[in-house]
Amino acid sequence: MPIVVRIDVELARRKMSVGEFAERVGLTPANVGVLKNGRAKAVRFSTLDAMCRVLECQPGDLLEWVPDDAEVPAIE
C-alpha cells in the first residue's frame, strides 16, 4: 500500500495509549486499530483534524505516501 500510517509513532512519542487517544479523538479503540494497522480504506477530514488536534501534529506526521515500487527494508 502506498500510504503508510504512522499513528503508532506519534502515540509512542507522546507516551499516549490507544485507549486514551481513541477517547480524546472520539473513536473506538477498534477503529483506531484499523487506522493504525493501515486497514482503513478512507479517513474523514473531521477525523484527521481531531487526530491532529489531539496529537498536536500535521497530517503529514500521521500519513506518508511511499511509491509502490519502493523497496521495503527487510526486518532481521
Q: What are the Cα distances from residue 26, in Å, to 12, 21, 40, 45, 46?
A: 19, 8, 16, 13, 11
Cut 0.85: pTM above it? no
Q: What is the pLDDT of residues 9-67, one digit of tens each?
A: 999 999 999 999 999 999 999 999 999 998 999 999 999 999 999 999 999 999 999 88
Class of domain 3-65: mainly alpha
Between strands 63-65 and 3-5, the pairing is antiparallel
Q: What are the Cα distances from residue 10, in Å, to 15, 26, 67?
A: 9, 17, 22
C-alpha cell at 71: 523497496
